[in-house]
Amino acid sequence: MANTILKHRLATRADYPDLTALIDAAISELQKPFLDAAQIASSRIIMGLDTQLIDDGTYFVVEQDSAVAGCGGWSWRATLYGGDRSPGRDAALLDPAKDPARVRAMYTHPDFTRRGVGRLILCLCEEAARAEGFSRVELMATKAGEPLYRACGYELLEPVLDDRGGVAVPLLRMAKAIVGAGRPQSP
Ligand SMILES: CC(C)(COP(=O)(O)OP(=O)(O)OC[C@H]1O[C@@H](n2cnc3c(N)ncnc32)[C@H](O)[C@@H]1OP(=O)(O)O)[C@@H](O)C(=O)NCCC(=O)NCCS
């Protein structure tokens, strides 16, 4: 019988080819119900893998049966979203005492959706951010990502239209308080 347990680890630069292929498939297939072809093309410029997260040790890979099923991470840097090809990234360090940590670049391979991969990665990100002293997390959601984030307790801050890829893509800035979340409360 196949091992269906999800396993996770930190990504390394050696994962780059697998991760970019997975992200390409996720953007191509899973955005289709929400975006037209021009918006999907635009998404490839404003989204994607940010290798800074791999180098920071804040980017996770989830595997099932030795196949890469999903990836995603978090950050203590100012960039809210975007990949290596996206304009305007900002590597400035955030202050856990006043800034929300970022959740970044969440993707599940189309063959592995609705198996809890995204939820697992979000939990890993929130736990790691909490351990670094952050009490809130913020992210820029796609329409495809919105159901996952709402299911995991994220609330809408504002809708955004990003046209830096040539055609406007609808996005949602969302946030969640993580202090005490998932931890037993003291009496
Ligand atoms: C968003 C994404 C990462 C979700 O990944 P996933 O691994 O399928 O999500 P999960 O299996 O962990 O889903 C957890 C819960 O989120 C909600 N959810 C996730 N995807 C959903 C969908 N397509 N429709 C409705 N609810 C959904 C459900 O409540 C689900 O729980 P359930 O399956 O028990 O009902 C994936 O769809 C994806 O890669 N999309 C394209 C890329 C993208 O837009 N990424 C987000 C960037 S901000």
Residue pLDDT, tens place only, 95-124: 999 999 999 999 999 999 999 999 999 999
Average pLDDT taken over every residue of the chain:
94
pTM value?
0.94
d(CA 73, CA 115): 18
Give the model confidence (pLDDT) of 64-105 as tens digits: 999 999 999 999 999 999 999 888 889 999 999 999 999 999
Whether residue 84 lies inside any domain: the answer is no
Whether residue 49 lies inside any domain: the answer is yes
Give the pLDDT confidence score for residue 187 in this predicted structure.
36
Here the CATH number for the domain that contains residue 125 is 3.40.630.30
| Inter-residue contact 163 to 169 (CB < 8 Å) | yes
Find the domain containing 67 and state its range. Answer: 6-78+90-177
In 10 A of CB 158, how many CB atoms? Answer: 8
2: pLDDT strictly greater than 80? no
Whether residue 22 lies inside any domain: the answer is yes
d(CA 28, CA 44): 9
* Residue nearest to ligand 1 atom 9, measured at CA: 118
Ligand 1: centre distance to CA 117 (Å): 8
* Residue nearest to ligand 1 atom 10, measured at CA: 116
The pair of three-digit structure tokens given for residue 127, joined into one six-digit string = 């736990």
d(CA 131, CA 71): 20
Whether residue 42 lies inside any domain: the answer is yes
Q: How confident is the model at residue 180 (pLDDT cuts 50, 70, 90)?
A: low
Using a 10 angstrom Cβ sphere, with 0-12 exposed, 13-18 middle and 19 or more buried, the burial of residue 92 is exposed
**C-alpha closest to that of 178 among 117, 116, 118, 133:** 133
* Residue nearest to ligand 1 atom 24, measured at CA: 147
Type of residue found at 84: D
Whether residue 114 lies inside any domain: the answer is yes
| Inter-residue contact 61 to 11 (CB < 8 Å) | yes
Our count of domains for the chain comes to 1
Give the pLDDT confidence score for residue 13 in this predicted structure.
98
Mark 20-36 as b/e (b = at least 16 C-beta within 10 Å): bebbeebbeebbeebbe
Give the model confidence (pLDDT) of 14-59 as tens digits: 999 999 999 999 999 999 999 999 999 999 999 999 999 999 999 9
Vertex 137, ends 134 and 138: CA angle to 5°?
Answer: 145
Whether residue 173 lies inside any domain: the answer is yes
Give the pLDDT confidence score for residue 3 in this predicted structure.
53
Whether residue 121 lies inside any domain: the answer is yes
